[in-house]
Structure 1
């Protein structure tokens, strides 16, 4: 519907006037269960002119403090000298309701290329009234009401077809962003504030948009304690607490929460070694929580494996004895010899500590001699930690494709699940050796596995989550797919490795697809993957984790914010890891940032990046028990998975960093290995 009304928007008290043309307004097709809305498209002149220069003009006066006034003023200030006009789109609701998340427009439109800038005008948890659609045509009397009641605005690329805009708005905004029942402001205690703003910034922003005040519990001197730290405005308070993950942690959390002067609605941590303690503290405080005993099982790879053997293989009593049909758990390295004397093992095998993270001290062994060495190494890893453990799990090496699967579960129902392909690691190569590791190389979403296998992954992992004792939460699961019809193979034309249909890995042998669980992390994935899923699918795991900590009262928001884009992920995305090589000291100030600054052609397809190791930081080296990556890039393609992997190979062949070795030599090192990085033979 067209409305060619060349008139003026008067911003402020007549001091700054923008001429605008309302050229299109429309209602995108409504999706059942989603908030209905309509869109008004305007072209706005950004050159400032006197309000009285055109005696025939009609004016819509906006208070200078209004969101739209500030938005237009910022666009005018940033506009290039020769810019005549800009295109904007106002979003108007056709339903009444309370806003589920105040920044929903920014988050759901992130990385949509035509959207240059977005702004929301609704405060957290506020009530929003519907704005009738002008079916009979738009008048400037209508517009004076419309601009004051828009929930948000989008600055669009000139020339974007209105039909494309309407289609994409329906894709991205078809979820219940307005809810019928009032939403109370909340307060959460967050245990462990993470290492820097980038690793927690999106969680802090999500809390503010949800109307949740955050109280950070962490050690004295943490960066979020200082009143002038970046992001400090996003937390309500900082409380000094000894968060050492020992037997006294739950009591210290109880004391801190109990003595806080304002009521706290829930306690959250995303630290693996603190999950069970926080659950125990929540239970003692009478706050919502999942079972602490479930967290105990999830945190223990030995108990997880034995429970899986009972569930899937009928290994009765495995959780009590530590011995299953395929795997076994050793309390100490010294127990291995007696086990070997009474058993015959096939190889290859996987050895890992029963506690741990990031694939630390996980080894693939090909013989009894390697098994003995790997068990000792794994047993030593956490022997001197605050909660000592020398236990080790030994299990078969499963050669099928590895996946990361994240599940949002509410009362035993999966609301959302994303599955991504965890590409082969160094230790997946035959003959890689005992000291090769399983550090991630790249994680590609969405998965290339066939839909039938993805359904099996989702269903089998949900059964495992429930079997451990969980009902609600966000769960990051890692698993391999046995008997998959897909396998990693190198393309004959360019050598690029990908997951493809494989004649040698079909279901012709009659074996059903089986999901071999490695671990359930009862929290969102790491922040780089959490950000990747938000960008690709529009679902924010940090926001959902905080809402699940508040309990049943937030079920409606959990359901609403678990809705992905209608058309699926907006691009193919690879979380590409930059690894350490030699031990020494990092000399590049910002390895990934410096690379991107020098390669603007690559920047256009990188939506997120970070250098964890900065200039002057110690590099532990490839053989360290504590694995630590140098940085990462989230590389995307809107064209195809094949195009994405070509872009990844391009980056892998170029990205280097400078370091000083332990013997004082300056070297420029490749953090990625090109085609060879993902090869299996």
Structure 2
């Protein structure tokens, strides 16, 4: 084909040629509309994969291809009305191409492009290549792949700091191209951790512009390493407070935990707690929540209903991290707040919220009526966008920003967990619902008191990979990419502001990150239970945009009483119809998912 088969075949020509070849080889393919995108202004690309990223799961698009390189400079292209001349010479200057879905009009595609691409993806200033050290490379490629690819699209080279034998160390692995180098470091989060990280950064033969970790127990140490190497960071003291649920609670109470929450240095203090409490003229109400001051994934968190259960839960929580690299026996005792729980994720830059997303954290086993103290607080599903009333959403946003500021942060990507007291909605099943889907419903009796935010914790890092990916697909905002840019500091101000902008029309669909918990005990026989489910129930594939099986063949399952809260699998399920339709699809997976044990 003369138009594209020249000696200097460009990516644009290759794409056009392969697309035409596919069309020619498909019987009754019909017409095909290909849209090439050209820059109308001069600039430097903020992120080279922005087209693929922002058009992912767009129903107007059958295929999308970017021709950009990271940090590429592009110039304004003059419009040419001569189509043949454009095909022969102009296409090589296009930034990307879109194959329009057959049933979609050009006008509809144009509106969708306006919705998704109305942000400054071209910047006037030159963007320099950067390099960051990433501390702790995660457990497998499924837990970090998008972050590594985001770094490449941002023109950031990744140097992984982790233990010997980590899967990213092998230079011949299929993923080695996603990092520049691997540096062997003892990343045990002990007192010398920050010194070892700083030494690794200082000894690296090329300049490193920032250090990143998303490991809760390493955030404070990485901040200390940044300070010693004169790299951008938030204060280590802020990370220390965020990582300590006791200090977080004191921050919320103005330092007066005795108002309704209590911190014990160890379980031994419990014997003195009750007499002291009684002498102060206070009676202890139930239910209560007991948890270690450090921890993650609701590990070792108990809901207790009496003094005996309280004693057992306090000893359990106090022992949980008593022999860790940084030992802790401290325990938080706080009221159980009977209100809707949320995950709230905030992108804050220089004390200003650039993006805030709140999703509904559905009831956990411990939230259910009649649940005993052994019931856990493991998540069941998170649904976005939230169905809370708008004033409660605003209350969450305002309160959480104040809490983050009070801890000492000015910038960062924050994953917060909170509940709303006196909410006007509660979880229930609507009368006549054939699917019996539990969701937020208006309360029969509206509370007289104003809604109040009760903060559980602030995680000074992006949410877990599965929720971060869900937000990326739903809103177009990449938390991992933003966190890496923030580690580089003020020089990335323009990109941070540009890439924090969501789709103009908001969420592109309703999405649930649903968790399949362990409900049986034994040795896993299923090789990949999530994949096997989709193969068996093929009609559900179009509604599942992401999935992952954490427990696979040979793994030991402890069942519902597991000491560590490891789930079987998760699915990110979508609906473009309604939230109700989404929950019906989730219910189908819950009712039909199965796995085999040996």
TM-score band, normalised by shorter chain: over 0.9
Alignment match, 1:230: 174
Relative distance call for 1:286 and 1:598 in structure 2 (3 A) is same
CA-to-aligned-CA distance 1:76-119 (integer Å, 9 cap, x gap): 55555313553211111212111000000000000112322211
Aligned residues: 589
1:181 equivalenced with 2:90 (yes/no): no
Q: 1:564 aligns with which of 502, 512, 519?
A: 502
Shift of 1:503: 2.8
Q: CA RMSD in A?
A: 1.4
- What is the CA–CA distance in structure 1 between the aligned matches of 2:423 and 2:381, rounded to whole Å? 20
SS of the residue corresponding to residue 196 of structure 2 reads: helix
Match of 2:275 in 1: 341
Pairs within 5 Å for 1:204-283: 204-283=148-227
- Aligned: 1:408 with 2:401: no
What SS class does the counterpart of residue 653 from structure 1 fall into?
helix
The counterpart of 2:109, out of the listed 165, 188, 212, is 165
Deviations 1:204-232 (A, max 9, x none): 00000000000000000100011222321
1:41 maps to none
Encode CA deviations 1:516-555: one digit per residue, 9 max, x unaligned.
0000000000000000000000000000000000001101
Contact 1:426 1:439 in 2 (8 A): yes
Tell me, yes or no, if structure 1 residue 360 matches structure 2 residue 299: yes
Q: CA deviation at 1:378?
A: 0.7
CA deviation string 1:481-505 (max 9, x = no partner): 111111111111222111122232x
Shift of 1:138: 4.5
Contact 1:448 1:500 in 2 (8 A): no
The question of whether the paired residues in 2 share the 8 Å contact of 1:93 and 1:129 is answered with yes
Between the aligned partners of 1:78 and 1:388, the Cα distance in structure 2 is 61
Which residue number in structure 2 is paired with residue 81 of structure 1? 26
Aligned to 2:532, which of 594, 599, 606? 594
CA contact (8 A) 1:585 1:618 kept: yes
1:125 maps to what in 2?
71
**Is it true that 1:156 corresponds to 2:100 in the alignment?**
yes
1:119 touches 1:152 (CA, 8 Å); kept in 2? yes
Shift of 1:69: 2.0
Say if 2:3 and 2:87, in contact at 8 Å, map to a contact too.
no
Find the partner of 2:3 among 6, 10, 26.
10
Contact 1:379 1:390 (C-alpha < 8 Å) held by counterparts: yes
Q: Could you say which residue in structure 2 is the equivalent of 1:520?
A: 458
1:106 partner SS: helix
The CA distance in 1 between the partners of 2:318 and 2:495, in whole Å, is: 44
Q: Please give the alpha-carbon distance, in whole angstroms, between the structure 1 residues aligned to 2:74 and 2:511.
A: 35
Q: Tell which deviates more after alignment, 211-220 or 92-101.
A: 92-101
State the partner residue of 2:136.
192
Partners in 2 of 1:408 and 1:467 — Cα distance?
16
Counterpart CA distance in 1 for 2:90 and 2:419 is 53
SS in structure 2 opposite 1:488? Answer: strand
User: Is the 8 Å Cα contact of residues 105 and 119 (structure 1) preserved in structure 2?
Assistant: yes
Residues 197 and 230, structure 1, Cα contact 8 Å, conserved in 2 = no
Q: CA deviation at 1:10?
A: 1.7
Q: Which residue of 2 aligns with 1:112?
A: 58
Matches of 2:82 and 2:259, distance apart in 1:
72
Which structure has the larger Rg?
Answer: 1
Out of 654, 657, 674, which is 2:595 matched to?
657
Whole-angstrom distance in 2 between the partners of 1:573 and 1:72: 34
Deviations 1:414-462 (A, max 9, x none): 0001000000010001321010000000000000011111111111100
Q: Aligned in 2, Cα 1:78/1:217: closer, same or farther, shift over 3 Å? A: farther
Gaps of 5+ in 2: 278-282
- The CA deviation at 1:581 is 1.9
Q: Residue 132 of structure 1: CA displacement?
A: 3.0
**1:264 shift after superposition:** 0.1
2:394 equivalent to 1:448: no
1:93 alignment partner, SS class:
coil
TM-score under structure 2 length normalisation: 0.96
C-alpha deviations, 1:182-211, integer Å up to 9, x for none? Answer: 101000000000011111000000000000
- 2:41 maps to what in 1? 95
Contact kept, 8 Å, 1:175 with 1:563, in 2: the verdict is: yes
Q: Mapping of 1:538-549 within 5 angstroms?
A: 538-549=476-487
The answer (yes or no) to whether the contact 1:11–1:63 under 8 Å persists in 2 is no
Task: Tell me which of 420, 430, 451 is aligned to 2:359.
Answer: 420
Unaligned runs of 5+ in 1: 1-7, 14-61, 311-316, 661-681
Check conservation: 2:351, 2:410, Cα contact below 8 A.
yes
Give how far 1:622 is off.
1.8
Corresponding residue for residue 492 of structure 2: 554
- Residues 304 and 313 in structure 2, CA contact (< 8 A), matched pair in contact too: yes
The yes-or-no answer on 1:141 pairing with 2:97 is no
SS of residue matched to 1:11: coil
Q: Deviations over 1:328-367 (max 9, x none)?
A: 1001011012111122200010000000000001011110
